[in-house]
Amino acid sequence: MTKQPYVRWLLRMAAASVLLAAVSGCEPKAPKPPEPMASGITGYNYTREGVQEYYVNGNRGSNLPPYGGGGALSCCVALPAEWAPGLTVDVDWTIGHYTQPWEKRKEMTLAEENKCCWSERTLRRAVPVERYGKEGGRLQVFFLPNDELQVWVYDAGPQNPGHPSHRGYPEEPEIKR
């Protein structure tokens, strides 16, 4: 008789253990974070100076003429699949221009021309990435006057009416005479 309550207690404990094990397996799992996306890099230059080279998070973009760009796509930079506030990329760039007109430089050797008439700066900046959608796109660096930058992620260039920057393609301003 004394064994019967003990056996019942053991059976209840075993049933409770099985029930607890089954219930613990039903816990909702945390959603897996989205995989980062690889985005090609392209640039647009809205300045009178040429962008000699630039890098986004250490990945090289192409050089850009004054008031141009968008033709070359370099590979790649990793971005979160979903934009979040505070997202930035590091941009390093060298920008420069000739200080004398071609007529003054045309008889010079390249070394003489660079010594006398070339000015360049190398800059680095953490740049906020503008909000982008889940569809992603190309990472676009906009080089603006006064060494300012903007970074967009969008599949079409700024000449596209749907581009969120609403800037249009870079154009050289008309010189007033």
Rounded average pLDDT per 10-residue block, the chain, 177 residues: 62 62 60 77 92 93 88 84 93 88 87 84 94 89 95 93 92 77
Question: CA 135 to CA 7: how far, in whole Å?
Answer: 62
pLDDT for residue 23: 56
Q: What phi and psi, each to the nearest 5 degrees, are found at residue 2?
A: -70, -20
How are beta strands 68-69 and 37-45 bridged, if at all?
antiparallel
State residue 115 phi and psi, 5-degree precision.
Answer: -70, -45
Phi, psi (degrees; rounded to nearest 5) at 112: -65, -40
Confidence (pTM): 0.74
Q: By three-state DSSP, how is residue 133 classified?
A: coil
* pLDDT score recorded for residue 79: 92
Q: What is the pLDDT of residue 2?
A: 59
Amino acid at 115: K
- Residue 13 burial by Cβ neighbours in a 10 Å radius (0-12, 13-18, 19+): exposed
Residue 50 to residue 94: CA distance in whole angstroms: 9
> For residue 88, what are the β-bridge partners?
128
- How many residues would you count in the chain? 177
pLDDT of residue 101: 85
Neighbours of 81 (CB within 10 A): 11
For the chain, the structural domain boundaries read 37-154
Is 37-154 assigned to CATH 2.60.40? yes
